[in-house]
A and B are shown apart, each in its own frame.
Chain A
Amino acid sequence: DAGVIQSPRHEVTEMGQEVTLRCKPISGHDYLFWYRQTMMRGLELLIYFNNNVPIDDSGMPEDRFSAKMPNASFSTLKIQPSEPRDSAVYFCASRPGQAISGANVLTFGAGSRLTVL
């Protein structure tokens, strides 16, 4: 398996522009998570999905952020409009469901580094 695939790896954009980050989880994983990492706030859980359904989005900072998972193999995190304070590394992670051994082990993607000027 190729692991969790994220794109783009780096994104530089200007304030006000729309940003879309993409994630392909590991095949067969029922849970998908979006995290944000910054120096100031560390690793923050933004939202997670179970079987493509958003379960908890309480970590999404504001309405400018939205996430979707249209099918089991693809998710997007969108920021519209982007602001300089959104600059961070965004990680996607996935894991199996309860019935499978290692259910609580997250596998992370390599991250998308976003810079908003």
Chain B
Amino acid sequence: AQSVTQLGSHVSVSEGALVLLRCNYSSSVPPYLFWYVQYPNQGLQLLLKYTTGATLVKGINGFEAEFKKSETSFHLTKPSAHMSDAAEYFCAVSGFNAGNMLTFGGGTRLMVKP
């Protein structure tokens, strides 16, 4: 069994400020972890993923996330927010087998103030 909790359904930051979106997971098997981003009126697209190896993962648009097994977390960060980062962000977890399905968190809507 697996689950994902995203703390904060809405996060607001000023342009240029640090972005931190929180994700905690539970999984009975070693997890694969993902962040997806959804821009208005679009589908979800992959931002970054952790499978094995290096625990700090870099994604598109300057985002990165760190897998911390001891904390069962996979928080998403970006040093400096841009207006174009305004979107909804989804954390997801799956097992390492292809038969394991993705379980999504509830999503966090990021708002960027000028």
Contact = CB atoms under 8 A, between A and B. Distances in A.
Given A104-B94, A105-B34, A45 B101 contact: yes
Contact of A105 (B46, B96, B99): B46
A104 B95 CA distance: 9
A96 B102 CA distance: 13
Nearest to B45: A108
Contact of B97 (A31, A56, A98, A113): A98
B104 interface: yes
| Interface SS of B by simple majority | loop
Nearest to A56: B101
B74 to A, nearest CB: 14
Interface in B73-106: 90, 94, 96-102, 104, 106
Interface of B: 32, 34, 36, 41-46, 49, 51, 90, 94, 96-102, 104, 106-107
Given A98-B99, A110-B41, 16 more contacts: A31-B98, A42-B107, A43-B90, A43-B104, A43-B107, A56-B101, A91-B44, A98-B98, A104-B51, A104-B94, A104-B100, A110-B42, A110-B43, A111-B41, A111-B42, A111-B43
A106 interface: yes
Interface string A68-88: 000000000000000000000
A55 B45 CA distance: 24
A39 B100 CA distance: 26
